[in-house]
A and B are shown apart, each in its own frame.
Chain A
């Protein structure tokens, strides 16, 4: 059973460009979470999605950031008009159910660098 997959692993964008980060959850997992890790900081929750639904986006910046988890295909975190402050590691996690008993399985992360 393949783990959570994220691609690309490294992404370099110039200021003003768009960044698209992909996350394929573990097989059988229908819950996806996105986190951002800034240098020297812990993980900050961004958004929680189920298939075709955004459940909680309270951690997502109001502008330029969006996320989706379509019926088919990976979850996408999209950052429009990137700025230097968006440079960070973005981690995706998945879990099989909406239940605190189930740990989240993390992907290897996408490291975004904005130049």
Chain B
């Protein structure tokens, strides 16, 4: 069994300040973890992924995430928020127990205040 918990449904930051979107997971198998972003009325775009290589993963648009096995966390961060970062972010876990079972978090809406 696997699950994903995104701890905040809404996060609001000022432009130029750091972003932290939290994600905790549970998985019976070695997981792969992903962050996707969805802009309003758009499809999902992959930001970054962890697949058991380096624990600090760098993605597009200045985002990065750190896989912490002891804390079962995969929090998404960015040093300085930009207005264009306003979107919904989904943390995703997949595991290869049989086949690629995919579980999405409920999403975190990021608001960036000018």
Contacts and interface: CB of A to CB of B under 8 A. Distances in A.
B44 A56 contact: no
B53 to A, nearest CB: 10
B104 A106 contact: no
B70 to A, nearest CB: 21
Contacts of B36: 106
Contact of B90 (A42, A55, A103): A42
Interface size bucket, B side?
20 to 34
Interface string A30-73: 01010100000111110010000001100000000000000000
Interface residues of A, number: 28
Interface in A72-115: 91, 93, 95, 98-109, 111
Nearest to B30: A100
B95 interface: yes
A55 B99 contact: yes
A100 B95 contact: yes
A43 B43 contact: no
Interface in B57-114: 90, 94-96, 99-107
Contacts of B49: 103
Contacts of B103: 45
Given A33-B102, A106-B36, A100 B43 contact: no
B96 A100 contact: yes
A101 B51 contact: yes
B107 A103 contact: no
A93 B45 CA distance: 11
B43 A106 contact: yes
A44 B95 CA distance: 17
5 contacts: A42-B105, A45-B104, A100-B31, A103-B49, A104-B102
Given A100-B96, A106-B44, 7 more contacts: A43-B90, A44-B104, A91-B44, A93-B44, A98-B99, A107-B43, A108-B43
Interface of A: 4, 31, 33, 35, 41-45, 48, 55-56, 91, 93, 95, 98-109, 111
